[in-house]
Structures are given as structure tokens and as C-alpha cells.
Amino acid sequence: MEKTEKQAQWRTLSGICLIAAALFLITAFVLDFGTGIDVVKHLPGNGGKIGPLRIEEPYTVLEINVYQPVSDNHWSFVTGALLDANGSYLTGFGDELWHESGYDDGGRWAETDYSYDTKLTVREPGTYYLRFTTESDANPAKLISITVGVKEVFASSLPHLLAGIVLILIGIVINLRSGGTLRRVFQEAS
């Protein structure tokens, strides 16, 4: 087999990898669309409970967004727990939310992280609740309310996203090694 014919086959493989990557990335995007439960609830700053959430299908994926603005130079760790119909703990999640500011040689600066997202897979149909609690260095009476969004999505998009990224990298490497379009573009640019 001639070198140019072999290079053409590698370029074809590169194109297939890039097309497959695009399909995986589009699928990852579609899987994040909501399908059922769609709840937004405002809880007191020290936490609260959401529910009942009725899960109809096994292996239902819930996307949960937690938002709590925090006062300047304070933090709040918001913990969530998935509970069954009897209030028994099944699994948990959480993250630190914070607001920092100050002055340095460049002047005033501020950094914040007021929210986090997570996905939970609920294995069995049934009735569930979400319980939220906070731990903070701020006065509990001054904690700002927590806004929680719960959305049922088609499935977890993470495997598709990772597969798409890996296929893009493989496609680029094959294209560069086989003298494909990317290699010619880089050679012309230099």
C-alpha cells in the first residue's frame, strides 16, 4: 500500500472520529434537557426541605442547582441530602459558597462563588425529599435565603461529554500525524 493511500485512510479515520465527537457532544447537550420534575424553591438561610418529589421511572437523573448569596468575607457550606419517603438518608452532596474581597497593589478585588450544580441518579421509583442544611461563619440570623432548583433530565451527559472530548483529541492527533488539513494549516501559518 502506498504512503499517500495509507495517509488518506488515516485522514478518513480522523474525519470519522471528529464526526463521532460532534455527535457525542450534541447528545450530551440534548441529555441535559428537562423531562419531568421542575421545581424552584426558596428556603430559609439555614436550610429546609423540598418535596415530596415523585419519581416515576427507575434510574431517573435529577439536576440540582443550589444558590445562596453570602455576605462579604463570609462562607456558607450548603449540604443537601436525598431522603426516602420515610425520611431516611440515602445520599448527600454539598459545596462551600463564599464571598471574599479586599485591597492589594492592584486596588480593590472581589471573588465569589454563590452556587453549585450536581446530578443525582435515583435508582428506584417512589417518593423522595431533599433536605438542606448550612454551616457558616456568619450569624445564622443574617444568612440569606437558599434558592434550590430541581430538574429531571433525560440522563447523565457526562459519559457523552467525555467521549466527545476524547474523540476530538484522537481525531486531531490522527489528522496531524497523517498530514491532514490541520497539519497543512499549521505549516502555512508558520
Mind spelling out the 3-state secondary structure of 45-105? CCEEEEEEEEECCCCEEEEEEEECCCCCCEEEEEEEEEEECCCCEEEEEEEEEEEEEEEEC
Same domain assignment for residues 66 and 147: yes
Question: Do 11 and 88 sit in the same domain of this protein?
Answer: no
Number of domains, the chain: 2
78, 13: one domain: no
83 with 146, same domain: the answer is yes
The 10s digit of each residue's pLDDT in 100-133 is: 988 888 889 989 999 999 999 999 999 999 999 9
pLDDT tier at 54 (50, 70, 90 boundaries)? very high
- Asked if 88 and 171 sit in the same domain, the reply is no
pTM of the model: 0.70
What CA–CA distance (Å, rounded) separates 10 from 175? 7
The average pLDDT across 22-36 equals 73
Query: Are 65 and 13 in a shared domain?
Result: no
Pair 173, 145 in one domain: no
Residues 148 and 169 in one domain: no
Pair 59, 6 in one domain: no
State the Cα–Cα distance between residues 154 and 81, nearest whole angstrom.
22
Phi, psi (deg, nearest 5) at residue 93: -160, 165
165 and 83 housed in the same domain: no
Q: How confident is the model at residue 49 (pLDDT cuts 50, 70, 90)?
A: very high
Same domain, 2 and 59: no
- Are 149 and 169 members of one domain? no
pLDDT above 70 covers a percentage of the chain that reads: 87
Q: Can you give the pLDDT at residue 183? A: 66
- CA-nearest of 156, 117, 136, 140 to 35 is 156
For residue 104, what are the domain limits?
A: 33-156
